[in-house]
Structure 1
């Protein structure tokens, strides 16, 4: 399961919010939201921002998990993923 989906489900359940309520906020169907929470579908950045606002939580926390999942999805099956990520990290340092 992807980190963001797991966290979205954890937050939703802790707030006793129904899956269909979150799906309504994002203007998607409940099945799609369920797949997002299970890590079977990706979510768009704008949707992450809407959910953060709806849950009244830190947008930054969710966006960090979104980037995490996006990066892992891009490199998870690459044999040189770690070396590539290390090189990219050096390029990001300010």
Structure 2
């Protein structure tokens, strides 16, 4: 499973975008974006729409990749992850 940072780096490289250009869109230093791509730092949810636009993907795709990255980095090794996520989805559905 790729991390969110790997997803960002792969997409940026597919587009041939330099790190500095995407960092400028986010109004952050290139070293910070580099750390995000190496999973040494976490992106914020406020960055997602900017990243989606800069990396030419739908905002939904960016959010889904971000959520997957958070889940796997924080709790991806839990034995009952699937059951916990299924119950969480059921709770979300009952509150819609």
Return the TM-score normalized by structure 2: 0.78
Q: Deviations over 1:39-69 (max 9, x none)?
A: 2211111211101112222111111011112
Q: Which runs of 5+ in 1 are unaligned?
A: none
Partner residue in 2 for 1:10: 10
Pairwise mapping of residues 9-88 of structure 1 onto structure 2 (< 5 A)?
A: 9-76=9-76, 78=78, 80-88=80-88
> Where has structure 1 moved over 6 Å in runs of 4 or more?
none
Return the TM-score normalized by structure 1: 0.80
Q: Name the count of aligned residue pairs.
A: 94
CA contact 1:5–1:39 (8 Å) conserved in 2: yes
